[in-house]
Amino acid sequence: MQFELLLPNHVTFGWGKRTQLGTLATGLGQRAVIVSGSRTLRRSVLWEELINSLAHAKIDVACEFEARREPTIADVDSATQEILACQKKPDLVIGIGGGAALDLAKAIAAMATNQHGSSVRDFLEGVGTGLQIENPPLPMIAVPTTAGTGSEATKNAVVSVDAPPCKKSLRSEKMVPDIILIDPELTSSNPPEITAASGMDAITQLIESYLSNRATSLTQALCLEGLKLAIPNLPRAFEDGMNQEARSAMSYAAFLSGVALANSGLGMAHGVAAALGAQCDISHGLACATLLPIALKTNQTASRKQQAVLGKLFAKDPHLSKAAAIEASITAIEELCDQLRIPRKLRDLGVKENQLEDIANGSRGNSMNGNPRELSTDELYSILKENW
């Protein structure tokens, strides 16, 4: 048995743990850049508690940025230049929000200390000039406010590119946040549609990491642990956003999904979801949710053993035959999507038929490398058209 495991240095998890933000930050720096997402959270007493915790610890807020969308090259570059222009240089980045806020925080933390390129674009996979993150980023704390992306535990930041329209990663093992503070109560204000989309993102990551051709026994164990919690608890969180047990389970599952994908990669659903987001402006979690049953059907011949395990887990029946278990793995996800009011067809997401070819061509990113079977662009186009 051989494997490598990339993990965050420090994780604090628990309902109400947000009040420890200042104490945790003290060991990393004194002048913080704050990158935030949800405006609803910023208007709440929960936000006041986070900021007061920093003030009590004598952590100064040097500047703030708001991530209202997935970060673009221009967003990263302008924020980085603002940080570098500060009279008193920030020495800490704190990301508080969903995947977009955490990705922007991770990107500017890395770019602030790696100025050997003219733009973050030079460092992006697939479209850059091949530059790498050489210097350690500014110390960073990740505080997720959704239970979905797992970005708090990953080594990359997704950045939107205009020409060509696509999403590419800024990636380095140095980019894993130094400290992760997960307070599930911060997700309690998420509306049902955000709860559903982000939760399905986490479930897709857990399943694709489990099926990945780069999976290890350890990452698969993490995935199964996450799925045992996420499958029954996502509908509960969807129906009752204040359900503490369900919210905590989903935050934990999302964290495990981030650890798993950072070490074993993803697959087809995420590969295509990136293209759907870039070309059709479809939210990442919603795209993943619609694509997950399609990906399971596409990969079932190449991952029969793994999908049988998932089917028995989802159906809670260890005695199912392999064929019945594989079918159950797909049926359970389809039924879950129906329960969460997730569309089955791409057209129901707003995708136009004449966009399918460009989507297939734009789905060749890093996520596709972990898919259990190789898919040509022509085959992928046929799959998308069949499910349009």
> How confident is the model at residue 336, as a pLDDT?
98
Q: Alpha-carbon distance 288 to 268, whole Å?
A: 9
Please list, in sequence order, all residues whose beta carbon lies within 8 angstroms of the beta carbon of residue 9, skipping any fewer than 6 positions away: 176, 178, 179
- Look at the block and give the residue holding tokens 């399918």: 356
Beta bridge partner(s), residue 63: 33
Q: pLDDT tens track of the chain, all 388 residues? A: 788 899 999 999 999 999 999 999 998 999 999 999 878 888 889 999 999 999 999 999 999 999 988 999 999 999 999 999 998 899 999 999 999 999 999 999 999 999 999 999 999 998 999 999 999 999 999 999 999 999 999 999 999 998 888 899 999 999 999 999 999 999 999 999 999 999 999 999 999 999 999 999 999 999 999 999 999 999 999 999 999 999 999 999 999 999 999 999 999 999 999 999 988 989 999 999 999 999 999 999 999 999 999 999 999 999 999 999 999 999 999 999 999 999 999 999 999 999 999 999 999 878 899 999 999 999 999 999 999 9
Please give the Cα distance from 252 to 380 (Å, whole number): 33
What gap in Å lies between CA 317 and CA 314, rounded to an integer?
A: 8
Longest dimension (CA), the chain: 66
Q: How far apart are CA 104 and CA 69, in angstroms?
A: 10
Residue 88 pLDDT = 86
CA distance 270 to 235: 22
Q: Is the pTM of this model over 0.85?
A: yes
Q: What pLDDT is stored for residue 3 in this prediction?
A: 84
Q: What confidence score (pLDDT) does residue 366 get?
A: 83
Q: How far apart are CA 365 and CA 380, in angstroms?
A: 13
3-state secondary structure of 236: helix
H and E: helices and strands count for the chain? 14, 8
The residue written with tokens 């999507």 in the block is: 337
* Whole-angstrom distance, CA of residue 263 vs CA of residue 268: 17
Sheet holding 31-36, edge to edge: 10-13, 179-182, 140-144, 92-97, 31-36, 60-66
